[in-house]
Structures are given as C-alpha cells and as structure tokens.
Amino acid sequence: MNNIGVRKYNLYLAIGLLFIFIIFIFNIENIKSTYSNESTTFSSAAALAKAGIPVGYKKPPPPPEQQPSGTNSLVNSKQTIKPTTKNSGSGSGGITGLATSLLSYDNEEEEVPIIKTEHRIFNKEEYIDDLYKYTKIIYKQPNLLKTIHSSSSKPTILILSTISKHLPYGPDRTIADFIKTINSLIYDITKNQPQDTSKTSSGGPSNYKFSLGLSINSPSEFEELQKFIEINDVKFFKRFDKITLLSSPEMENQHEIKFENDITEEVELNRDNRHDDHKQRVRRRIIAKNRNFLISNSLEIEQFTLFLDSDIVKFDNSLNFIDILVNSNKDIIVPRIKRGDFITDYDRNSWKGLRTKPNEEQLAIMDSNVWSKFDYVPQDIPGSTWHFADFDSNPDSHTEEEKKLNHVVPLDSVGGAVLFFKSIIYKQGVIFPASYLIGTSWERMEGYDGIETEGVCYLAKPLGYSCWGMPNLNAYHVA
Ligand SMILES: Nc1nc2c(ncn2[C@@H]2O[C@H](COP(=O)(O)OP(=O)(O)O)[C@@H](O)[C@H]2O)c(=O)[nH]1
Ligand SMILES: [Mg+2]
C-alpha cells in the first residue's frame, strides 16, 4: 500500500469509529430517557398511593383465564370483587359489616365464588367502593352471557327507578306493590307466570329483553330490598336478565356551596313538604344526581331506558305499553300521567312553549348568589305554555290521527314519572342537569329553569334529538 492508500485506509477507519460512537451515544440517551420516565411514573404513583389515591399503582392485569361456568365477565374486571360472606336469602350484603374496599389496586385479584340467590335464578356480585362510598349489587342470570351477546335481535330495555327514603311508593304501598306494577309491563301478571310470553297483537313484552336498576340510599332498606329480591327471585324477577341495585347514603346529602354573603342551611325534605317552592332547587338537585348516578352505574348495552317514579301504580294497555313507546321511534317520549279520579295531567314537567322569567329584583338576588332568598319557581304563561291537559279542552275537534293511542305531540320539557328514551342519547352526555341550566352566567351559581328532567330536552336538542309526548297513553300516579 502506498502513502495515499494508508491515508485513505485511516480516513475510512476514523469515519467508521465515529459512526459507531454516534450510535452508542444516541442509544445511551434513549435508555436514560426510558428509565427516567419509568421512575417518574413510579414515584408519582407511589406518592399518590401514599396520599390514599389509588392511581397508576395497579399491577398489570393477569392474563385472561377461562371462566368457570356460571360466572360472567365482571369477575374478570379490573376491580377486585369481594364476595359476600353470608348466604343469600338470609340478608346477605348491605353496607354495614362489609368495610373492605373492593377497589383495591395493590392486592392480587381474588377468585370470586358466586353467591346464588334463594332459588338459583341469579348469580349475585357485590362491589363496595370505599372511596366514593357506594355499594352496587348485580344479579345476573347465569345464561346472560350466552343470550345477551348472541345474535338475538330482541331490543333490550333497562327499567330504572330512584327510590326515596320517605314513603317512596305512596301511602300504604310497599316494594312488592311497585315490583308488581313494573311487572305488569313485562308479562301478564293476572296469569302470574313470569315466563308467560304475553303476546299481544303487536308482539308484546316477549319482543324484548329486560334489565332492572333500582337505587335506594337507606342502608337498612337496601338490605331489605336484597332480601326481597333473593326470596322472590322466581316469583317476581324471572324476566330480568340483570338487576343492578345501588346504594349511596352520600347521594342524599345537600352539598350546597356556601357563599360568604348568604346563610345556607340544610333543607328538611319529606313527602309532605316536597312541593314547597323554596325546597324545589335542593330537592330536584338531589333527584337529578340520583337519576344520573343510577343510570351511569347500571346502563350497559340496553338500547332503551325507561325511568319510572316509585309511586307509579298502573298503566293502561300495559302489555302494549313498551311496544307503543319503542314503535313511536321517538328519541325521548313520555305518556300522560293521571292521578286519582280527577287529575288528568299530574306530571306538569311535561310541557311545550314558554314560561315566566324572573324580574329585576330576582335577577339581582341571583347575581349576588343569595340563594337562601331566591324562591322563584318558573310558572306557566296562560296561552303560551302547553300541557297534556290542553289537549283535552276540545276533544270533539280531534282528528282521527289525534284520537289514536300512539298519537304524538312535540314537547320542550319532559317529566320523569314515566320517561322513555333511546339510551344512546344518555351515553353522549344528555343527563339530568343537577342545576338550573336556563338563565345562568359565570357570576351566578345557576339559572332559574331547566333542572332535572326539565333540562333533558334542552341538552338533547343541539345533539339532534327531540322530545315527545303521547297524550292518549296513560300511566297512573298513586292517588
Ligand atoms: N334518592 C332520592 N330519591 C328521591 C327523593 N325524592 C324523591 N325521590 C324519588 O324521585 C322520584 C320522584 O319523586 P316524587 O316525590 O314521586 O315526585 P313528584 O310526585 O313528582 O312530586 C320517585 O321515584 C321518588 O322515590 C330524594 O330525596 N332522594
Ligand atoms: Mg310522585
């Protein structure tokens, strides 16, 4: 090799070494950054865990295992599920005596023996959330996985009810009465055969699959409800593929903001004073949040949701009732609610048109957030607010179309006594507003209209959904 050849060789060698050096440096940086990311995540998760917040400290989930027959997918969910220790049918579950958190992120997941109900219709699972203080019980028919995820084309209906603490079913009525009322929609209770296919001319309840969700926040009544279901699983609950029970005493609390210039005191609520003007804000806020809590904890794949107030007692055309609502193909729809012999339009929250607005003095109270002094309740404007009762004013003039059982009228607001809607609407964020939507601003805590069920249509409208009523389809409130 001559001189030029040696220099060329050295040059190539130097370039090669430089290249290897660059790759080495580059990889070191990568390794360093990976390591530092991991350690940051780990240490902040540890800090959060120390502070009692179970975030990012989860063990990786174990590989999915073959489920034993009779279990279902919830057993493999990321939450740790703790079984009840008592046998069902003897008052198992409840809030008291089950203090262990089920949202435990640092324990191994447990294999869960399934607690069966008294007549072995349902498997029972129980979740207790210590962080947010609620208990959730799920009863599922063991064949649910097979049927609900099969090619079955039956529409699924979730029936829901939030049950208050004080005389929730009306005077002299019990949970058994209310469950019979619900069952009247889903099989022919006069034959007392839950498996009765109850076919009517249009198909009837056998066209559908049903789930049930009930919330009841009194711990003792929650226990009673479980007993009732477990003892009567065959008698009353056979047509439900899934029953979700929810209880959270916290949800009854009035977490009102305290403004410096105002006095805020707990409002005493019971069945007798529930319609007082100055109690409406707080009362309806509580009902709204309970409705939201129930639906967000129980709605899964059910396509339609039917809310029933716990003091609804009867339906005309009961075996066709759900068919009529589904076949209306309306997004959100309510029937007429009657009460006793004389009240033909009980649920005044179903209306269309305009309502009164607060005057200057009332607006000033709102702007200064002195809510203890604000007892304004929006009222109807005669001639501008339309209710089902107005439909009755001149029945002789009704057209053939208006006489039909499934005749529909547009509404701007719906009541919740019996409220049917396509579940997909809720899943997109149309909830029961827990504050007054209409007439608010950044300065005001809230507005003056559109709370709870009365805010649903307002939220649904921009998403392209609309509200409707059926003035010829009747349900009955307790007298
Ligand atoms: N969780 C809870 N539910 C309530 C409360 N008040 C009423 N409810 C439920 O909300 C629904 C409507 O209440 P209800 O008193 O019947 O309303 P009204 O007949 O329209 O005055 C029913 O299912 C009640 O059981 C409450 O304070 N807490
Ligand atoms: Mg009622």
| Per-residue pLDDT at 211 exceeds 80 | yes
Spatial distance between the Cα atoms of 48 and 372, rounded to a whole number of angstroms: 38
Contact 419, 306 (CB under 8 A): yes
- 6 vs 196, residue with greater confidence: 196
What per-residue confidence (pLDDT) applies to 261? 79
What per-residue confidence (pLDDT) applies to 44? 34
Angle value at C-alpha 366, between 365 and 370, nearest 5 degrees = 60
Per cent of the chain over pLDDT 90 is: 60
Give the residue-averaged pLDDT of 186-205: 78
Ligand 1 centroid from CA 328, angstroms? 27
Q: Of 48-52, 265-269, 321-325, which gets the smallest average pLDDT?
A: 48-52
- 337 vs 45, residue with greater confidence: 337
Spatial distance between the Cα atoms of 276 and 377, rounded to a whole number of angstroms: 10
Give the pLDDT band of residue 5 (cuts 50, 70, 90).
Answer: low
Ligand 1 centroid from CA 297, angstroms? 19
Residue whose Cα lies nearest atom 2 of ligand 1: it is 164
What per-residue confidence (pLDDT) applies to 23? 62
Give the pLDDT band of residue 88 (cuts 50, 70, 90).
Answer: very low
Angle value at C-alpha 173, between 199 and 175, nearest 5 degrees = 65
Per cent of the chain over pLDDT 70 is: 71
Q: Output helix, strand, coil percentages for the chain, rounded to the nearest 5.
A: 35, 20, 45
| Per-residue pLDDT at 102 exceeds 60 | no
Give the pLDDT band of residue 262 (cuts 50, 70, 90).
Answer: confident
| Per-residue pLDDT at 22 exceeds 50 | yes
Is the minimum distance from the CB of 80 to ligand 1 under 6 angstroms? no
Query: What ligand has the least distance to the C-alpha of 169?
Result: 1
* Protein residues placing their CB within 5 Å of the ion ligand 2: 309, 311
Token look-up 């179903």 returns 350
Which of 164, 177, 451, 454 maximizes ligand 1 atoms within 8 Å of its Cβ, making it the mutation to test the pocket?
164
Give the residue-averaged pLDDT of 373-380: 91
Is the minimum distance from the CB of 164 to ligand 1 under 6 angstroms? yes
Contact 304, 158 (CB under 8 A): yes
Calculate the dihedral angle through the C-alpha atoms of 379, 445, 249, 57, rounding to the nearest 10 degrees: 140
Residue-wise pLDDT for 354-376, tens only, equals: 999 999 999 999 999 998 888 89
Highest mean pLDDT among 70-84, 193-207, 267-281: 193-207
| Per-residue pLDDT at 29 exceeds 80 | no
Is the minimum distance from the CB of 173 to ligand 1 under 6 angstroms? no
Give the pLDDT band of residue 393 (cuts 50, 70, 90).
Answer: confident
Give the residue-averaged pLDDT of 458-469: 98
| Per-residue pLDDT at 429 exceeds 80 | yes
Give the residue-averaged pLDDT of 423-445: 97
Is the minimum distance from the CB of 217 to ligand 1 under 6 angstroms? yes
Q: What are the two backbone dihedrals, phi and then psi, of residue 194, each rounded to the nearest 5 degrees?
A: -55, -25
Domain boundaries, the chain: 1-58, 82-327, 352-477
Contact 47, 59 (CB under 8 A): no
What per-residue confidence (pLDDT) applies to 191? 83
| Per-residue pLDDT at 65 exceeds 50 | no
Is the minimum distance from the CB of 290 to ligand 1 under 6 angstroms? yes
What per-residue confidence (pLDDT) applies to 272? 65
Is the minimum distance from the CB of 454 to ligand 1 under 6 angstroms? no
Is the minimum distance from the CB of 449 to ligand 1 under 6 angstroms? no
Ligand 1 atom closest to Cα of 477? 19
What per-residue confidence (pLDDT) applies to 264? 66
Ligand 2 centroid from CA 311, angstroms? 5
Ligand 2 centroid from CA 476, angstroms? 10
Residue-wise pLDDT for 266-311, tens only, equals: 666 666 666 666 678 889 999 999 999 999 999 999 999 999 999 9
Ligand 2 centroid from CA 312, angstroms? 7
Give the residue-averaged pLDDT of 66-87: 35
How far is C-alpha 374 from the geometric centre of its chain's CA atoms? 30
Give the residue-averaged pLDDT of 415-444: 97
Q: Of 96-105, 146-155, 453-462, which gets the smallest average pLDDT?
A: 96-105
Give the residue-averaged pLDDT of 183-200: 81
What per-residue confidence (pLDDT) applies to 423? 98
What per-residue confidence (pLDDT) applies to 153? 78
What mean pLDDT, rounded, does the chain reach? 80
Residue 102: other Cβ atoms inside 10 A:
19
Which of 221, 284, 310 maximizes ligand 1 atoms within 8 Å of its Cβ, making it the mutation to test the pocket?
310
- 280 vs 126, residue with greater confidence: 126
| Per-residue pLDDT at 4 exceeds 70 | no
Give the residue-averaged pLDDT of 21-45: 42
CA distances from 476 to 27, 165, 348, 409, 435 (A): 74, 21, 14, 20, 28
Ligand 1 atom closest to Cα of 163? 25
What per-residue confidence (pLDDT) applies to 103? 35
Ligand 1 atom closest to Cα of 217? 1
Give the residue-averaged pLDDT of 438-459: 97
Is the minimum distance from the CB of 378 to ligand 1 under 6 angstroms? no
Is the minimum distance from the CB of 286 to ligand 1 under 6 angstroms? yes
Ligand 1 centroid from CA 225, angstroms? 17
